[in-house]
Chains A and B, each alone.
Chain A
Amino acid sequence: MSRVGILMRTTAVRLSALYLVLFSLCAAFLVFYVTGMSQRLLDQQTKDAVSAEATQIEAIYGRAGVNGLLRTLERRARQPGAALYVIAGPTGEILAGNVASLQPGLLDKEGWTDEAFAYQRYTDETRKDRHVALAQVLFLDNGLRVLVGRDLQEPEKFRVLVRQALMVALGVMGVGALIIWFAIGRNALKRIDRMSDASTRIMAGDLSQRLPMSGSGDEFDRLSESLNAMLGRIEKLNEGLRQVSDNIAHDLKTPLTRLRNKAEAALAHNTSIDGYRGSLDEIINESDQLIRTFNALLMISRVEAGSSAAEMSDVDLSQSVADCVELYEPLADEHALSLEAEVEPGISVTGNRELIGQALGNLIDNAVKYSEGAADARILVRLSRREGGAVVSVADFGPGVPDDKREVVVQRFVRLDQSRSKPGTGLGLSLVEAVMELHHGRLALRGTMPEADGAKGLTVDMIFPQSPT
């Protein structure tokens, strides 16, 4: 498409065209109004002058009779730029005056001529020179008829002049406006072109590209700024997604490979029914672990999808924490750990009991798993009020997580090297974080004994905000 074609399709140009049409209509109205008004004014002046003259003539006739009238008119008719004077007999034949011929029948009626009429003067050289005038006819008592009029040439010229002046002024304004609009449209178009070039490169996959900014802080800059912020967010999410899918691919491939190896080994080596049975058992266990991982992944994405996916109600947090501790207490006991709870009674939050239970379960399970070689064979679960909300913390006295790894362990599938040998999906803390986000709270990791030299232990806080009541 040609540049002009593109230009014609821009909003700026379309709006400009609309304004141009409206402006022209207004201007045309103005021209006609001004010229019409000035014509009326001039006509009125002409009429006033004719009326005044007619009154004078009547007065002269009354004072000096026909002869006096004739003398006065003869004198007046010869002055330069004189008015029109005709004295005619009772039948309409012209007796005296400065008019050579008149439109016929004009003298038959007393008073104003109905409209402007054409006439010829003696001074006219050809018959083609015709003038237009407005006149009043008087019938004198001796039967004579007198016509007094004024030529309309001058007012007509003036009117044409006014109209021309207005037209020229409007034309200049219109052309100026067109030039300005065109310049603005072109400028806007250029900037939009640069923006769309940048977005084409972004669409081609280069998410690090940003839209250009002129630095003027105008509307285009503001638009670019917010789009750039959006791009930044998308880039970050995309990066996260890529990392997650890489992790998923890796962490699912490993158990799938193990599964396949086991099946292959069973086919190759086992000969007894019991051997096959054992292999199949192992394979089922391995698949169950895979299903578990998938379920956990699905669960996290469902929870992350937001509160619309989970039903929220009033949850008696004190009861939930007590239940969870009771559920996991024998497990801790089996690992020669004591699970101790300090629960402040009567704390409730708006939330999903199942998810809170599962999150807390994950934390206790983790604490049990990673309390090996603990300085203190205890796990402390605490529930207390804080800043209008509530905090559930699970503290262990195991090796803990180094300060610089605390952010990392929350990510999906991240398992620190020393924990690779333990059973688990690497999704436990990710789920807890997603659950806390769903409850508008957060997850915080810290050392249980930050001052200790060796095992610092790990305390995980589930921080619930004040319920919006």
Chain B
Amino acid sequence: MVSHMKILIVEDDLEAAAYLSKAFREAGIVSDQASDGESGLFMASENSYDVLVIDRMLPRRDGLSVITELRARGIHTPVLILSALGQVDDRVTGLRAGGDDYLPKPYAFNELLARIEVLGRRKGAPEQDMIYRVGDLELDRLSHTVKRQGRELLLQPREFRLLEYLMKNAGQVVTRTMLLENVWDYHFDPQTNVIDVHVSRLRAKIEKDFDQPLLRTVRGAGYMIKDEPRIEGRAEA
């Protein structure tokens, strides 16, 4: 799967930046690099990127001020903030400054990748769609109903929101923390596999009595809903 996405990494740790760049290339994402706030701001203003990955603490101009300045110049490229400060309120200040997502260090690359793909919005359903469809599964956001092969499935409100988020990002990996953030609006580490339990309950409801599985577990990353037949043994990442 080639996404043809182009991103900018603003990170002063050159080793980390090189590792990211290589890992993104393997995932089919082209990346440019800037090692300080000023050049990051310049590159983000001059070129067009799908997503900006900005470290919070940078030489010459800090990450938050780069974002504020970009927004002031009318550049609305989605921004993911990376930070060694990972606590609740740092996230709040980061998002307030105009960031779209916030990932505390150290992070798993799969987590970063999943979030960037969601921010890049190359796949999944457009925001304004009222009905999401994945294969024979249909979710109506207005009437809050879910049907598969025309048969209505009864979901709890939270299960509905979980499925809604998965279908909105159909074809993309969503991680456990993304689910906790977007479905439950909590940003802490639940320490246990609560999310997995919720997902497996949902899976039981949408896949039981049907042949084709839709909701797959991506090993080491998270979950993805997709209508292609599953290729056994292959891990999407």
Which residues of A approach B to under 8 Å, CB–CB? 281, 284, 288, 291-292, 295-296, 298-299, 302, 309-311, 323, 326-328, 330-331, 333-334, 352, 354-355, 357-358, 361-362, 365, 368, 424-425, 428
Decide: B191 and A365 in contact? CB cutoff 8 A. yes
A288–B189 alpha-carbon span in the complex (Å)? 11
Decide: A330 and B194 in contact? CB cutoff 8 A. yes
B88's nearest neighbour on chain A, judged by CB, is: A354
> Which B residues from 185 to 204 make CB contacts under 8 A with A?
186-194, 197-198, 201
Chain B residues with CB under 8 Å of A295's CB are 86, 104, 189
Chain A residues with CB under 8 Å of B76's CB are none
| Interface presence of B92 (CB below 8 A) | yes
Least distance between B103 CB and chain A CB atoms (Å): 13
Secondary structure of the B side of the interface? loop
A281's nearest neighbour on chain B, judged by CB, is: B220
A427's nearest neighbour on chain B, judged by CB, is: B191
Q: Which of A309, A333, A368 contacts B89 (CB 8 A)?
A: A309
Q: A330-B194, A365-B191 are in contact. Are A323 and B87 (CB under 8 A)?
A: no
Chain A residues with CB under 8 Å of B104's CB are 295
Least distance between B138 CB and chain A CB atoms (Å): 25
Decide: A331 and B193 in contact? CB cutoff 8 A. yes
| Interface presence of B22 (CB below 8 A) | no
A354–B201 alpha-carbon span in the complex (Å)? 25
Total number of B residues with any Cβ neighbor in A under 8 Å:
23
Decide: A357 and B188 in contact? CB cutoff 8 A. yes
Decide: B186 and A354 in contact? CB cutoff 8 A. yes
A292–B107 alpha-carbon span in the complex (Å)? 11
Chain A residues with CB under 8 Å of B87's CB are 298-299, 302, 309
Q: Which of B92, B189, B194 contacts A311 (CB 8 A)?
A: B92
Least distance between A316 CB and chain B CB atoms (Å): 12
Decide: A331 and B192 in contact? CB cutoff 8 A. yes
Chain A residues with CB under 8 Å of B220's CB are 281, 284
A428's nearest neighbour on chain B, judged by CB, is: B191
Least distance between A265 CB and chain B CB atoms (Å): 21
Which residues of B approach A to under 8 Å, CB–CB? 86-89, 92, 104, 106, 108, 158, 184, 186-194, 197-198, 201, 220
Q: A309-B89, A311-B92 are in contact. Are A330 and B198 (CB under 8 A)?
A: yes
Chain B residues with CB under 8 Å of A292's CB are 189, 191
| Chain A CB within 10 Å, residue with most, of B87, B190, B191, B193 | B191
Decide: B86 and A327 in contact? CB cutoff 8 A. no
Decide: B192 and A358 in contact? CB cutoff 8 A. no
Decide: B194 and A328 in contact? CB cutoff 8 A. yes
A282–B92 alpha-carbon span in the complex (Å)? 33
Chain A residues with CB under 8 Å of B89's CB are 309-311
B192's nearest neighbour on chain A, judged by CB, is: A365
A355–B188 alpha-carbon span in the complex (Å)? 8
Decide: A358 and B194 in contact? CB cutoff 8 A. no
| Chain B CB within 10 Å, residue with most, of A284, A292, A361 | A361
Q: Which of B86, B186, B191 contacts A357 (CB 8 A)?
A: B186
Decide: B86 and A424 in contact? CB cutoff 8 A. no
Q: A326-B158, A354-B88 are in contact. Are A331 and B186 (CB under 8 A)?
A: no
Decide: B197 and A334 in contact? CB cutoff 8 A. yes
Decide: B187 and A354 in contact? CB cutoff 8 A. yes
A364–B89 alpha-carbon span in the complex (Å)? 24
Chain B residues with CB under 8 Å of A327's CB are 184, 186, 190, 194, 198
| Chain B CB within 10 Å, residue with most, of A281, A299, A327, A328 | A327
Sampled A-B contacts (20; CB under 8 Å): A284-B220, A288-B108, A292-B189, A298-B86, A299-B188, A302-B87, A309-B87, A310-B89, A311-B92, A326-B158, A328-B194, A330-B198, A331-B193, A331-B197, A334-B197, A354-B88, A361-B188, A361-B191, A365-B191, A428-B191
Chain B residues with CB under 8 Å of A425's CB are 191
A304–B99 alpha-carbon span in the complex (Å)? 27
